[in-house]
Amino acid sequence: MVKPLEYSDDIMVKKILKDNKEVFLCEECGLGYKDQGTAEKCEYHCKNYKSCSLEITSNAILK
């Protein structure tokens, strides 16, 4: 399970509408999530480890 993290101010996910549903995008890898928190975790991981986390990306709804 992914633990909650403290994020710095540079974590700014993008919100889009896809098929009339809100999708939050990781600006590093471009994967989309149904909630902002998961997208922030993804972006944090991508920025700090220069790779995606399989545990996080398994929740992606937009690839």
Mean pLDDT per 10-residue section of the chain, whose length is 63 residues: 52 92 96 97 96 97 95
Note the pLDDT of residue 46: 96
Residue 4 lies in a domain: no
Note the pLDDT of residue 9: 57
Residue pair 34/41 in contact (Cβ under 8 Å)? The answer is no
pTM for this structure?
0.82
How many independent structural domains does the chain possess? 1
Note the pLDDT of residue 11: 80
C-alpha 28/C-alpha 30 separation (Å) is 6
Residue 33 lies in a domain: yes
Note the pLDDT of residue 4: 46
Note the pLDDT of residue 6: 52
Determine the residue type at 19. D
C-alpha 45/C-alpha 3 separation (Å) is 12
Which domain range does residue 50 map to? Answer: 14-57
Determine the residue type at 12. M
Residue 49 lies in a domain: yes
